[in-house]
Amino acid sequence: MLPSAVSSLAAFAVPINEAIDLVVKRIRTKACQRCGKNDDTLYRIRLDESRLWVFVCLDCLELVKPGNRHYQYGGTWKSKKRH
């Protein structure tokens, strides 16, 4: 390659860390508001008379849901979004 061609290609060079970020999606997690465990899928629920929405992991959901008259499902938070 000619030196001028190499120098013009250098303008398009991407540092290796940025190149990896372009290829690999960022993995996001969120902490369960009940037990504090980080997870990539959480469930938005109401679980008591306060009627406040909280995000909980599947383990906590299975503990608080049965027989809970205040339980209300409000959606699922996922680390991988649909596009």
Please state the domain extents for the chain: 3-78
Measured CA to CA in angstroms, residue 17 lies from 5, 13, 25 at distances of 24, 12, 13
Pairing between strand 54-56 and 38-39? unpaired
**Rounded average pLDDT over 10-22:** 58
Q: pTM (2 decimals)?
A: 0.65
The phi and psi torsions of 60 (rounded to 5 degrees) equal: -70, -40
Pairing between strand 72-78 and 54-56? unpaired
User: What is the rounded CA–CA span in Å between residue 52 and residue 47?
Assistant: 8
pLDDT at 82: 65
Q: Tell me the per-residue pLDDT of 18-65, one tens digit each, with 9 for 90 and over.
A: 655 555 556 788 999 999 999 999 999 999 999 999 999 999 999 999
Q: Is the pLDDT of residue 74 over 60?
A: yes
- State which amino acid sits at residue 49: E
79 pLDDT band, cuts 50/70/90, is confident
pLDDT at 22: 52
